[in-house]
Amino acid sequence: MKILKKLQLKTLLPVQLLGYSFALFVGLTILSTAFNLYKDISPIFKTETNFFQKNTIAISKKVTIFKTLNKHKIYFSEKEISNLRNQKFVEKVDFFQHATYKIKAKTSINSSVPGLQTDLFFESIPSNLIDVKTAQFVWKENDNFIPIIIPESYIKLYNFGFAESQGLPVISKNAIKEISFNVAIFGNGKSENFKAKIVGFSNQINSVLVPNTFLEWSNKIYGNTSQTKINRLLITTTGNEKNELLAFFKDKNYDINKKDLQNDKTLNILNFVFLVIFIVALIIVILAFAFIYLSINLVMVKNQKLIQNLYSIGYSQKNISKFYLISTSIVSLLSIIVALISSHFIRNTYLDKLNQYFTIEVNANYSILTALIIFILLFLFFKVYILTKINKIVDDI
* Per-residue pLDDT reduced to its tens digit, 143-177: 999 999 998 888 888 888 877 887 777 888 888 88
Q: What is the per-residue pLDDT across 212-250, written as a single tens digit (0 to 9) for each?
A: 999 999 999 998 876 668 888 888 877 666 677 778 888
Q: What is the mean pLDDT of the chain?
A: 81
Q: What is the mean pLDDT of residues 104-133?
A: 81
Does the structure show a pLDDT above 90 at 210?
yes
Q: In the predicted model, is pLDDT for residue 366 greater than 60?
A: yes
For the chain, what is the largest distance between any 2 Cα atoms, rounded to a whole number of angstroms?
Answer: 115
Residue 122 has pLDDT above 60, yes or no: yes
| Residue 161 three-state SS | helix
Which residues in 306-340 are b (16+ Cβ under 10 Å) and which e? bbbebbeeebebeebbbbbbebbeebbeebbebbb
| pLDDT for position 301 | 79
The answer to whether the pTM exceeds 0.75 is no
Residues of the chain with pLDDT > 90: what percent? 17
Give the whole-angstrom CA distance, residue 238 versus residue 88: 8
Predicted confidence (pLDDT) at residue 76 exceeds the cutoff of 60: yes
Report d(CA 133, CA 136) in Å as an integer: 9
Tell me the CA end-to-end span of the chain in Å, nearest whole number. 22
CA gap 193, 104 in Å, rounded: 10
Task: Write down the domain spans for the chain.
Answer: 2-48+263-395
State the pLDDT at residue 51: 43
